A and B are shown apart, each in its own frame.
Chain A
């Protein structure tokens, strides 16, 4: 408040070039928004907005897109309960399973954390950066926190356009991959969530 009250008016001679430019930009924007829209343009825009998408989605499926190491992965969003910032993972004494990392706090819940990279046979060369997240996969047996390097959000894709994973996919992920989904920027491996959860459950016995 104090600053604004004492700030010299914008049209004062010593207003900096940057301030002047900003003011001019704002004015231009106001003019654009305040103008009357020509009738034909309005109709055109309305048609554009109302137009049905050209591509019909036959089998919509919501995918959570993520990146682990160099791999682009996806999992059906309905199997994920939370995406959360990373927090400390505490190792368990005498833990023998190579897949179990320990326990972590996700939103006040203690959740078992697993080595997603080891499960999928994906190499992670770097330490997790600021974009890394826990993705919590969950079925009736309970939740698992999996660390990924990045989460790209949820997209609705067409399962009818999925293709079988190529034979070249590494052994571990082939078992756990359901399909490849063509997503802009390339293909994404869609994980078979029940199979992933099954493999993790198996790691505990």
Chain B
């Protein structure tokens, strides 16, 4: 066995069975008539009971046993399944999950502490099924019993028969409930129908003498970590998986070296052939002229023979090498793909937990909700999947708590009583698109606007001019909530900013669209970038660079005389449009451009009217790259999104095309031409010119208007990277920046600016919603001259500060 303890085996087993219970119970509740659905649930409860017994998890045995009995009663038709019973069964499932989570060291203490809870759950399951589920909701919050066990249940459970608690404590003996359960493993009946029963089978797994089990399921559970069934996930640390991927890539690279070995061997064979043929010809010619003595013949013949033999041997050797090289290449390529594939998991792995959560929450809030999940089979990078859990949980909670009306209100509005939330995942244009849509009441933009003004986030005069999509952006600000009362579920101000920051962290975006009365849709557009990307490789200043194909318009190779200068800008014509051209080496600060040949090669990036050509040295090829994040110690490297290893094993940087387009726009916008992108040190700033950096269009607009009204000239940038590019290209007297921004945050931007001698004395102001002292300190430490909160827009603080720093505008 591979170092897994029995308890770990139990955990793995329980996890799978609990998932069956969870899903099955929800399905059963939706369709109580489906008696066929009960069988697998009974089996699952039964399996957990058996496994728990093996690891001496007595409390789990108690609860699983009671669950099994309750399910048996339903199956036998002695009881109808009710929502109340399903609740109890789900509570049992939760309890089992918690039991499985405990580590072995703390298990005894945990068991001691939770014995009463287990008994209460079991007793409730043995008592007649509660019939009026909704009546209990109020009671759950109202009464807070003093005793811990009861209190724990109270969060989730309904009232119990007062005497129920004590009765089941020793309940290990089978109840004659009609289910064929022997007291011990010896009497395992109907092996195929009752999987993984039988403690002895598992307990003896270390014994080599253990005969093969007739029951496939038992065999599986006894060797769980080694021989898992197809499609069943196993636990592997992400780090180890990453290492496997790296090594499989290395094997691929090493395998390719065979080719050069083969070529060398081929050279040797050719040399041997030449030498052998030449010698033989010479010898034959000499012999024909009678110049070879018999003694010489005796010596030369075997030598010539040996030479011919060496040639043949070399040939065979080369054939062997060739075959081995091909085989290794096939295998290592397959290994590499398999390792890569192991990073991907179906979206369903994550979404499986949501129906339960939605159901519980909806019941708690007296809503009727159906959750439709679309795209469970969509493959998502493991990393992305784990990052998505918190934001999606939040969005779903948000839907139920804020979006969906109570059933009566829905009926009045002419909608079906049952609301629908659709969670969908799909790949679109090289991005992973995840959306959460409800058919609830929608978001009242006027209320959001009013709230923003009330909270001092935006002056009223400006708020009036914001359109609906701009107004909805306020929802993503930390601490922003329109909920009139704080509920337990949401509205505490811990909000949608979680969703936005996750999206930003991975280089994606969130969008909200809402139609009052009809519903709200949140859409997250995320890169699939944590996995594989097909890219075009070009060379710039001797360095290979990868441009993701999805972001690349085209590559052009044209005679250099088609490159013309129009109004001081280099450009060429493409499909009747003029495409501005810049030199990649200059933009990326990798060196100066090589002297153009007769032909130039340009990568066209951007789209629509904003297409630009980047002059590169040459086109290298196209490859599927396994994307690796750059070492986080490097921070955000401008114009680079990630790195990868090329087929030959050399590193390559993957270009952040959007970032690059933004830089080119800035460069060309400044009317500067090729090769002069670096502004002269010590250049003079344009008086009164301010750069505003913020990812929120609303805040940008607010700041722009405030500054413009005061007479300053304002340019805006949408994040740190964009801000830096603008700063390098432009001439500013002051930079005003937000802190929380995608790609490069405000603190990183301030540090970067301060680290550059050109901007050592440039005044920098941070304006953020974060108002804690430590945030302020962090900003000042990075090198900001001032740190304001966004409330400062309300009064003159902001403008006064700007005047203090750079004086009133002269114009």
Bits for A90-114, please: 1 = Cβ < 8 Å to B, else 0: 1111111000001111011111100
Q: Are A204 and B635 in contact (CB under 8 A)?
A: yes
Taking a contact as CB atoms closer than 8 A, the residue among A8, A105, A112 that contacts B645 in the complex is A105
With contacts A94-B637, A104-B651, A105-B645 taken as known, whether A6 is within 8 angstroms of B590 at the C-beta atoms is: no
The stretch from B51-59, B301-309, B526-534 touching chain A is B301-309
- Decide yes or no whether B652 CB sits under 8 A from chain A: yes
A103 touches B631 (CB 8 A): yes
Residues in A neighbouring B651, C-beta threshold 8 A: 88, 90, 102-105, 110
Q: Is the CB of A90 within 8 A of B640?
A: no
Q: Tell whether B46 is near chain A: CB-to-CB under 8 Å.
A: no
Shortest distance from the beta carbon of A205 to any chain B beta carbon, whole Å: 7
A110 touches B247 (CB 8 A): no
Q: How far is the CB of B635 from chain A (nearest CB, A)?
A: 7
- In the complex, are the beta carbons of A96 and B635 less than 8 A apart? no
* Cα distance A107–B651 in the bound complex, in angstroms: 12
Partner of B633, one of A102, A108, A142: A142
Q: Does B640 lie within 8 Å of A6, measured CB to CB?
A: no
* Distance, CA A95 to CA B633, complexed state (A): 13
Asked whether B640 lies within 8 Å of A93 as measured between CB atoms, the reply is yes
Please give me the residue from chain A that is nearest to B310 by CB atom: A3
A56 located at the interface, meaning its Cβ lies under 8 Å from any Cβ of chain B in the complex: no
B291 at interface by CB-CB < 8 Å:
no
CB neighbors of A among B638-660 (8 A): 638-640, 643, 645, 649-653
Given contacts A90-B650, A94-B639, A103-B631, contact A108 B246 (CB under 8 A): yes
B649 pairs with A105, CB closer than 8 A: yes
What chain A residues lie within 8 Å of B299 (beta carbons)? 14
Contact residue among B309, B628, B638, B652 (Cβ-Cβ distance under 8 Å from A3): B309
| A12 smallest CB distance to B (angstroms) | 9
Q: Which residues of A contact B640 (CB under 8 A)?
A: 92-93
Q: 1/0 per residue A1-38: CB within 8 Å of B?
A: 11100111000001000000000000000000000000
Asked if B298 is an interface residue, CB under 8 A from chain A, the answer is: yes
Q: How far is the CA of A3 from the CA of B303 in the complex (A)?
A: 10
Q: Which of A6, A8, A96, A204 contacts B756 (CB 8 A)?
A: A96
Contact A201 B633 (CB under 8 A): yes
Interface residues of A in 169-205 (CB under 8 A from B): 201, 204-205
A132-173, CB < 8 A from B: 141-142
| CB < 8 Å neighbour of B306 from A3, A142, A204 | A3
Number of interchain pairs (Cβ within 8 Å): 90
CA gap between A45 and B630 in the complex, in Å: 58
Q: B249 interface residue, CB < 8 Å from A?
A: yes
Interface string of B223-247 (1 = CB under 8 A from A): 0000000000000000000010011
Residues of A within 8 A of B751 (CB): 205
Complex CA distance for A94 and B630, rounded to whole angstroms: 15
Given A90-B650, A94-B588, A14–B298 Cβ distance below 8 Å? Answer: yes
Q: Is B670 an interface residue (CB 8 A)?
A: no
Q: Does B589 contact A (CB under 8 A)?
A: yes
Chain B residues near A81 (CB, 8 Å)?
Answer: none
* Residues 731-783 of B contacting A (Cβ, < 8 Å): 751, 755-756
Are A110 and B250 interface neighbours, CB within 8 A? no
Q: In the complex, are the beta carbons of A204 and B634 less than 8 A apart?
A: yes
Q: Which residues of A lie under 8 Å from residue B589 when comparing CB positions?
A: 93-95
A59 within 8 A of B: no
Q: Which residues of B contact A7 (CB under 8 A)?
A: 306
**Given contacts A6-B302, A90-B653, is CB(A108)–CB(B247) below 8 Å?**
yes
CB–CB B645/A108 < 8 A = yes
A110 to B627 Cα, complex, angstroms: 11
Please measure, in the bound complex, the distance between the C-alpha atom of A141 and the C-alpha atom of B630, giving whole angstroms.
14
Contact B305 A109 (CB under 8 A): no
Taking a contact as CB atoms under 8 Å apart, the answer to whether A1 and B313 are in contact is: yes
Contacts of B468 in A (CB 8 A): none
A residues near B309, Cβ cutoff 8 Å: 2-3, 6
Q: In angstroms, how far is the closest chain A Cβ from the Cβ of B409?
A: 56
B544 within 8 A of A: yes
Looking at the assembled complex, report how far the CB atom of B79 sits from the nearest CB atom of chain A, in whole angstroms.
Answer: 59
Interface size on A, residues (CB 8 A): 31
Judge whether B756 and A88 touch: CB under 8 Å: no
Kindly state the separation between the CA atoms of A91 and B637 in the bound complex, as whole angstroms.
Answer: 11
B653: chain A residues within 8 A (beta carbon): 90, 92-93, 103
* B676 interface contact, C-beta 8 A: no
The residues of B that contact A87 with a CB separation of less than 8 Å are 649-650
CB of B312 within 8 Å of the partner chain: yes
| Chain A residues with CB below 8 A from B639, complex form | 93-94
Residue B543, interface by CB 8 Å:
yes
24 A/B residue pairs, CB under 8 Å, sorted by A: A2-B310, A3-B313, A6-B302, A6-B305, A7-B306, A88-B651, A90-B650, A90-B653, A91-B590, A92-B653, A93-B637, A93-B653, A94-B588, A94-B638, A94-B639, A95-B637, A103-B653, A105-B649, A108-B247, A108-B645, A110-B643, A204-B633, A205-B751, A205-B755
- Enumerate B566-592 residues with CB–CB distance to A below 8 Å: 588-590
For A2, give its contact among B312, B590, B649, B756 (CB under 8 Å). B312
CB–CB A92/B637 < 8 A? yes
CA A110 – CA B628 in complex, angstroms? 8
CB distance from B740 to the nearest CB of A (A): 21
Given A3-B310, A87-B649, A90-B651, check contact A103 B633 (CB 8 Å).
no
- Give the CA-CA distance A6 to B303 in the complex, in Å: 10
Least distance between A126 CB and chain B CB atoms (Å): 20
Contact partners of B313 in chain A: CB under 8 A: 1-3
Residue numbers in A under 8 Å from B755 (CB-CB):
96, 205
What chain B residues lie within 8 Å of A91 (beta carbons)? Answer: 543, 590
B 647-683 binary contact with A (CB < 8 Å = 1; else 0): 0011111000000000000000000000000000000
Tell me, in angstroms, the Cα distance from A60 to B312 when the chains sit together: 56
Tell me, rounded to whole Å, the shortest Cβ–Cβ distance linking A27 to chain B.
Answer: 24
Contact with B along A110-128 (1 / 0, CB 8 A): 1110000000000000000
Closest approach, in angstroms, between the C-beta of A8 and any C-beta of chain B?
Answer: 5
Nearest CB to that of A141 among chain B residues?
Answer: B633
Interface flags for B155-179 (1: CB within 8 Å of A; 0: not) read 0000000000000000000000000
The answer to whether residues A6 and B634 also contact, given A14-B299, A90-B544, A107-B250 and a CB cut-off of 8 A, is: no
| Structural contact, A103 and B588, CB atoms closer than 8 A | no
Residues of chain B within 8 A (CB-CB) of A3 are: 306, 309-310, 313
4 other A-B residue contacts (CB within 8 Å) besides A110-B631, A204-B633: A2-B309, A90-B650, A90-B651, A94-B637
Q: With A and B bound together, what is the CA distance between A204 and B748 in angstroms?
A: 12
Q: A3-B313, A103-B630 are in contact. Are A110 and B306 (CB under 8 A)?
A: no
- Give A14 Cβ to nearest chain B Cβ, in Å: 5
- CB-contact partner of A110 in B243, B588, B645, under 8 A: B645
CA distance A152 to B384 in the complex (A): 45
Q: What are the residues of chain B within 8 A of A1 when measuring CB–CB?
A: 313
Contact of B543 among A6, A90, A110, A201 (CB under 8 A): A90
Q: Which residues in A have their C-beta under 8 angstroms from that of B633?
A: 112, 141-142, 201, 204
Contacts of A201 in B (CB 8 A): 633
B250:A108 contact, CB within 8 angstroms? yes
* Cβ–Cβ < 8 Å partners of B246 in chain A: 107-109
Given contacts A93-B589, A105-B650, contact A8 B302 (CB under 8 A): yes
Q: Which residues of B contact A95 (CB under 8 A)?
A: 589, 637
* Cα distance A3–B628 in the bound complex, in angstroms: 51
A85 to chain B, nearest CB (A): 11
